Amino acid sequence: MIGAVADRNAALGWFFRILMGAFSVLGVLRYGAGFYAWRAAEQLERPVYTLVQRLSNGVELRRYEPYLIAETTVEKAGFRESTGDGFRTCAGYIFGKNKPKRGGGDSETMAMTAPVRVSGQ
């Protein structure tokens, strides 16, 4: 009887160690991936601006240099379908499936330098 209890406790000890090890690995992966994403976001190109005035509470008035954005509105019922259609439309535009706003000529491409932002309104 005592031997069976000892065996059971030993098995539970090993199970607990394996479980804690798995949680530790998952935690390291989670925070490592978060750190990697943060570093990647920090290295993205950002619009160039000049600081005009610094107001109270950390508010800054900025004057931005001209820059291009690509955006679209999608009227679909599902968020996943809308997001996919919107991304494909913007990607097509960015990679040259567009017409110049002024005058004639060939289509233009844009650098895709920042992540895509999606909002459900």
| Residues of the domain holding 2 | 1-43
Same domain assignment for residues 71 and 14 = no
What was the pLDDT predicted at 60?
A: 95
Domain count across the chain: 2
Can you give the C-alpha Rg of the chain in angstroms?
26
pTM: 0.47
Q: Are residues 36 and 60 in the same domain?
A: no
54: confidence class by pLDDT, cuts 50, 70, 90: very high
Looking at the fold, whether 51 and 39 belong to one and the same domain comes out as no
Distance between alpha carbon 113 and the CA centroid of its chain, in Å? 12
Cα 92 from Cα 75, distance rounded (Å): 18
Q: Is 53 exposed, middle or buried (0-12, 13-18, 19+ CB in 10 A)?
A: exposed
Does residue 62 sit in the same domain as residue 117?
yes
Same domain, 51 and 31: no
Domain identity same for 53 and 101:
yes
pLDDT band at 103 (very low <50, low <70, confident <90, very high): low
Same structural domain, 65 and 38 = no
Mean pLDDT of 12-37: 86
Task: Verify that 26 and 58 share a domain, yes or no.
Answer: no
Q: What is the pLDDT of residues 28-53, one digit of tens each?
A: 888 888 888 888 777 777 888 999 99
- Bigger pLDDT: 70 vs 28: 28
Q: Provide the Cα torsion 19, 21, 26, 32; round to 10°.
A: 170
Residues 26 and 62 in one domain: no
Same-domain pairing of 67 and 54: yes
